[in-house]
Structure 1
Amino acid sequence: MAVIKGNIQFLFLCLISFVSFFILLPESTAAAPIGICYGIVANNLPPPSDVVNLLKSNGISRVRLFNADPEALKPFSGTGIQLMIGVPNEILPSLASSPITTSVEWLQSNIFAYISPNQIRYLAVGNEVFLKDPFYTPHVVPAMENLRQALQALGLDEIIKLSSSHAASILSNSYPPSAGAFDPNIRPVMVPLLQFLRDSGSPLMVNVYPYFSYVNNPQYVSLDYALFRSQDAERDQNLVYDNLFDATVDAFVHAMEREGFGGIPVVVTETGWPTGGGAAASAENALAYNGNVVRRALNNVGTPKRPGVGVEVFLFDLFDENGKGGEESEKHFGIFGVNGVKAYDLNFN
């Protein structure tokens, strides 16, 4: 009788373990999300409704919109595509200095009037403000605080996360990754931002471009290291780096830890490689770079500092943007032609 009872207990424990394994399996094996940036600084783009059809036909389920443009938002309604929507730099002073009701009204009239909140994953409050657009710097965190209280008032603060997207230049040091540190000039605003992110369970958003690191510093950054094909790995505190993407992301992780904010996730809100207009800009190299970014996210490769934790990424850009200023290469990041044909054979899933 004791043997039978023992066997029953053993089978029960096995059953519990078996069920627990399958309950935990989806979370532990879910791929890191891959999205795409939908920039519209061009005069030859297809209608937004055609864009949505293009995204759906290619299995792209996350999109970054840089502004709350009603004409761009409307076609996404009911599609199930998850959105990151930009809150423009220009309105940050108003949101930061006005009552919470102003933030509520802005959200309702500019976003929720056109799309359901359950399709919105993130609001990116300002884009590359710190150092690049310093007039708006003191308004970023106060605007985020007011928007968060507005979302709380609407019962949406657990659905929609707030952050702000930053250029890699906010790091004063990024090599080696363990030496990663934020520019001391922005520390008075960076620390409150990190506190906000930790308190609200939001990620640090960063724009990572190994392409520009390579073309601006070819004597220090090899093309192979930028394209994930380096044979010469670099060691840093017993961690091995064979590509610049990982090294840059981990430099941000170290910089946050240096300020006492370990554990905040990193979302790469822009990364990509141009097909023309500059050194090493080609469809072949763009496929090599973006293809590796996608594969690593889908396989939850993570980084040496955070292995097995896939990095959520938004590839730049959906189309070439012929209205952009700056270097010629900045106009040629499009993964698709305006006719909907891929510039190179990138598979998103």
Structure 2
Amino acid sequence: MQILSRMRIEEVVLVSFTSLVLIILFPHSTVAAPIGVCYGRVAINLPPPSDVVNLIKSNGIARIRLFNADPEALKPFSGTGIQLMIGVPNEVLPTLANGMVSTSLDWLQSNIFSYVSPTQVLYLAVGNEVLLKDPFYSPFLVPAIRNLHQALETLGLANTIKLSSAHAATVLSNSYPPSSGAFDPNLLSIMIPFLQFLRDTGSPLMINVYPFFSYINNMQYVSLDYALFRPFHAETDQHLAYDNMFDATVDAFVYAMEREGFEGIPVLVTETGWPTAGGIAANVENALAYNGNVVRRSLNNVGTPKRPGVGVEVFLFDLFDENGKGGEEYERHFGIFKSDGVKAYDILFN
């Protein structure tokens, strides 16, 4: 039998230790990162929710994000086995934050668990881009999350339903290069207790990632290839090579958390996508290129340069075009499916 040299033994021990650390920090890293899809409903031409659920099932989509606890949308999911991320609207935060735990219990029972089983609910996204889109609600964010968590504990669901809040990349004061990632100092009074909650409860940081916006707003600096995962001369940062903006954005958040002393918190991308029409670079080919690459990388556990092999769970935006949305024209054209259920482009989800 061959005897390992001391150096070889040390190498094996180091590899084993590193693997153990990764397993402890990211226990699901050996399983393909799930792909979900956002079900936005700001439109007047959408099919009935029951038809939407059938469409979701027939396309093998296992996870759906609903932005609001809307009974009309929730009911058809009951008993389907489709796992859900359900949004707690920004305007509800003051009520939940200022109320007793019983207030949060009542809200959960009345708005969610009356329509779907708790076993189908994976995440509650408490508020969406509150810190910058609706700063009035910022002081209520963490207290509302804590009350909801206590309510889930009362129901025995705190270990199966994770609470977090989705943030835009604009909560970072610096995101380039990724190792310089830092949260806006003006937001730290809220971000620090929020991150403490995530660490204490094993919950993910939820972020919305849109290389499309970065590209159209900074075309003189950002390459379309870099935004679309196309072959691109990689940029080196801290000995790590970045060849796409998605990875760079996710890792900027990781570095920002570590800068504040929070390591090992998972990152979940609650929205990412590319429009099929309505502006520069908004077309079917680019949407397929971007979303297709996001799906493949998650399913293959590619991870990011800072967390290689740790697939990033993502929710693609959006099931349908939303013709009721305001803003630029492209805001209404993120749909993966047309209103008749036909795919806008040929993408697979598993």
Q: TM-score, structure 2 length as denominator?
A: 0.92
Contact 2:29 2:310 in 1 (8 A): no
Q: Secondary structure at the match of 1:130?
A: helix
Where does residue 187 of structure 2 map in the other structure? 186
What are the ranges of 5 or more consecutive residues in structure 1 without an aligned counterpart? Answer: 1-23
Taking a change above 3 Å as real, the CA distance of residues 272 and 28 of structure 1, as seen in their structure-2 partners, is closer
Question: 1:153 aligns to what SS in structure 2?
Answer: helix
Residue 89 (1) aligns with residue 90 (2): yes
1:280-319 equivalence runs, <5 A = 280-319=281-320
Return the letter of the residue paired with 1:245. Answer: F
What is the CA-CA distance between 1:132 and the residue it aligns to? 1.8
How many angstroms apart in 1 are the aligned matches of 2:227 and 2:253?
17
Deviations 1:131-173 (A, max 9, x none): 2211000000000000000000111101100000011100010
Q: CA deviation at 1:117?
A: 0.2
Q: Where do residues 17-36 of structure 1 align in structure 2 (5 Å cutoff)?
A: 29-36=30-37
Task: Please give the root-mean-square deviation of Cα atoms over the aligned residues, in Å.
Answer: 1.1
> What number of residue pairs does the alignment pair up?
325
**Contact persistence 1:127–1:166 (CA under 8 A):** yes
Amino acid corresponding to residue 205 of structure 2 in structure 1 = L
The Cα offsets for residues 95-142 of structure 1, whole Å up to 9 and x where unpaired, read as 000111000000001100000000000000000001221100000000
1:27 positional shift: 5.6
**Does the aligned pair in 2 maintain the 1:131–1:186 contact within 8 Å?**
no
One-letter identity of the residue aligned with 2:189:
P
The one-letter amino acid paired with 1:192 is P
Contact 2:29 2:309 in 1 (8 A): no
**Whole-angstrom distance in 2 between the partners of 1:67 and 1:310:** 27
1:159 aligns with: 160
- For 2:70, the equivalent position in structure 1 comes to 69
Counterpart position of 1:175: 176
- Please give the secondary structure, in 2, of the residue aligned with 1:165: strand
Amino acid at match of 1:256: M
**Contact (CA 8 Å) 1:276, 1:332: kept in 2 or not?**
yes
Separation of aligned partners in 2, 1:85 and 1:318:
15
Q: How much does 1:28 deviate?
A: 5.5
Residues 275 and 330, structure 2, Cα contact 8 Å, conserved in 1? yes
Amino acid corresponding to residue 205 of structure 1 in structure 2: M
- How far 1:30 moved relative to its partner? 1.6
- Match of 2:294, SS state, is helix
How far off its partner does 1:231 sit?
2.3
State whether structure 2 residue 229 is matched by structure 1 residue 228. yes
How far apart, CA to CA, are the structure 2 residues paired with 1:205 and 1:268? 6
Letter in 1 for 2:57: K
Residue aligning to 2:110 = 109
| Cα displacement (A) at 1:230 | 3.3
- How is 1:137-286 mapped onto 2 (pairs within 5 angstroms)? 137-286=138-287
Deviation at 1:43, TM superposition (A): 0.2
Q: Distance in 2 between matches of 1:68 and 1:232?
A: 44
Partner of 2:17: none
**Structure 1 pair 296/205, CA: closer, same or farther in 2 (3 Å)?**
same
C-alpha distance in structure 2 between counterparts of 1:197 and 1:300, whole Å: 23
The 2-side partners of 1:172 and 1:327 are apart by 25
TM-score (norm 1): 0.92
The letter of the residue matching 1:191 is I
Tell me the alpha carbon deviations over residues 216-262 of structure 1, each in whole angstroms, 9 at most, x when there is no partner: 00011110000001321100000000000000000000000000001
Give the structure 2 partner of residue 347 of structure 1.
Answer: 348
CA distance in 1, matches of 2:121, 2:338: 26
CA distance in 2, matches of 1:251, 1:29: 23
Following the alignment from structure 1 to structure 2, what is the Cα–Cα distance between the partners of residues 27 and 347?
A: 22
Supply the AA of the counterpart residue of 1:224.
Answer: D
CA contact (8 A) 2:124 2:164 kept: yes
